Amino acid sequence: MALDYVSTSKKIVDAVGGAGNIATATNCMTRLRLVLNDEGKANDDAVKAIKGVKSVIKQGGQYQVVIGNEVSNLMKEFNKLGNFSEDAAPAAGKKPEGNPLQRLFGFVAGCLTPLLPAMLGTGMVKVVLVLLTTMGVMSETGPTYLILFGMADSFFNFLPIMLGWSIAKKTGHSVPMYMVIGAALVYPNLVTMLNPMGSGLEGISYGEFLGQPCAYMFGVIPVIKAGYTSSVLPMLLMAPVMAWAEDFADRVSPNVLKAFLKPMLFFLICTPIVFIVLGPLGAVVGNGLAAVMSAMYNTVPWLTVGLLSALMPFIVMTGMHYALVPLSTLNLTNLGYDVIVIVTMFCSNICQGGASFGVAAKTKDVDTKSEGIACGISACIAGVTEPAMYGINMRFIKPMIAAVCGAGVSGLLAGLSGVKGFVMGGSPSLMSLITFVGVDSASTITNPYHGVIWGAICAVVGIGISFALSFILYSDKAAGLAGDVNTDAIDAANAAMAGQDAPEKKAISAPMEIDSPMTGTLVPMKDVPDEVFASGALGEGIAILPTDGKVVAPCDGVVAQMMDTRHAIGIVADNGVEILIHVGLDTVELHGAPFKYHVKPDQEVKKGDLLLTADLDAVTKAGKKLYTPVIITNSDDYTEIAPVDGAEIKAGDKLMTVK
């Protein structure tokens, strides 16, 4: 009989100290995995006494509540009781996974991925508007265009505020306080006062610092003029500062004054740091970059265009492109053309789109395919690259390598063929090829369409290279995606295991033999170094230390339980015996990367059919143990579960008998 998920969830929350004591909440195949702010507030005995709770385990900084097969359905009700983060903090002393660059990219992608739906939606609205205005269906000065464009551009204009929300959610800090820091960066008066292209606010005294115009805080501290709309660097750099500032303010504020003193101290610490130190970094470095690129272009123009095209996504990401705009304007005024911004951003933007298309073509994950197509269209047609950069390419890393390579080659070709931009035409994209129409009076080229023709060739080459490299380098397995596994069907299968429309059980008229799903060494369940499995809380069975990563069906039955993380699978035999195969210990934390399902939910399988494969070397390198429990989760329904004796076993050999 299924649990009362609502009642059980409320009892667990109360027993662990209330919703306010739960920092993060996730689940694996059989247990709730909580990170508590104060484990001392949790009443272990009260939790264990709740109907449906099999055991409580404290391990790796997590407070694990063992439920069994019904945990997925319980989790849906559990999440309704509080604003619980899914980003569990790492256990104290545990070394973060991956090298520093991978961790950095992972953090950035983790902060930007939650924004992807809004980023994609507004980006595609811009694509539609570009097409409508290009075809003459809509005027850029009409109210319809202005309202729709204002809505679409608002996301990118106020991106620092959105980042404040996502960074706070990811790091488990105050969402409103982080959002205020982001809002300050795009506050209208401050934008006007610090606009590097504008004259500033009337009555403000300006000076110069590090070769750039600045205002003065407290009359003496220089605040360099820089633009922060659409910028991600200041807020990402502020993430550790804001975390420290909030913790410090919380620590020094007396409880009776904390309600107002803590946020006040936080704002007084963070605001000067973001405007005086971290915010202007992009502008300062960008100013130096502009000087270097100008000197390089005067010496080797074709190489400069190629190099700048390849580097452009990182220049835009850090906000340094603002420093290149004055150089572009100066070139248009004095020379009549520009390549520093117009041409290089064209090559870069379309290749971001090409790389996204490559992921869309390669992936079997439906959501990623849809996102890749939308991101590619947004970048190539409208020149809106944020969805492609942050939602696909930087998120999976290798597509960004493809985009950089494609842009570099495309830029080199543009530089060698003499492609130039003669007017500013909005964000460079395929629709802005018309800006390459013109003739440079100092050049021997007299055909005004030379730039358009070669620009189109550069676009084809750039998109082709970035698409091909992305297609080759990207893989769902490396990205940790579920491929063509339907997660909605997985949820339905979990519901079936929880007792909702579950397969009808048949009484065992004779002992049933369960075969081994893997090849390896047998280990008694009591010797498995995990209290949940060793205690028999989830049921009786035996474990295998596998030597081969193939997992096959131990009997005829139906696939009734799967996980997005692909580290375990549940089978219901034709006579109702429920079998759980859990590959490795704590492998839920690997997010599916070393595992691949070869079946679908509700699929009928025969004994010996391949269920999933595991990269055992990858599991071991990630620091996880390979013990694979094979459990009869409804052991209480039977009189005896008798594992075989022996040391070694092969997949397909008799593993246990159910009576």
Residue 510, classed as helix, strand or coil, is coil
Closest alpha carbon to 628 in 555, 563, 579: 579
Look up tokens 């246990």; give the residue.
656
Query: What phi and psi, each to the nearest 5 degrees, are found at residue 595?
Result: -125, 155
In this structure, are residues 76 and 27 in contact, taking their beta carbons and an 8 Å threshold?
A: no
Cα distance between residue 74 and residue 67, in whole Å: 9
Q: How far is CA 99 from the centre of its chain?
A: 17
In this structure, are residues 3 and 51 in contact, taking their beta carbons and an 8 Å threshold?
A: yes
- Kindly give, in sequence order, each residue whose CB lies less than 8 Å from that of residue 371, ignoring residues fewer than 6 positions away: 116, 120, 360, 387, 391, 392
Q: Which amino acid is at 326?
A: P
Query: What phi and psi, each to the nearest 5 degrees, are found at residue 322?
Result: -60, -35
The pair of three-digit structure tokens given for residue 9, joined into one six-digit string = 């969830």
Cα distance between residue 363 and residue 24, in whole Å: 30
- Could you confirm whether 270 is annotated as catalytic? no
Q: How far is CA 94 from the centre of its chain?
A: 22
Of the residues 28, 270, 380, 555, which is catalytic? 28
Q: How would you label 288-302 residue by residue, b for 16+ Cβ within 10 Å and e otherwise? A: ebbeebeeebeeeeb
How far is residue 566 from each of residues 414, 426, 594, 612, 622, measured CA to CA in Å? Answer: 46, 45, 9, 8, 16
Of the residues 214, 351, 582, 591, which is catalytic? 582
Q: How far is CA 73 from the centre of its chain?
A: 25
- Could you confirm whether 380 is annotated as catalytic? no
Q: Which amino acid is at 407?
A: A
**R_g (Cα) of the chain, nearest Å:** 29
Catalytic residues: 28, 582
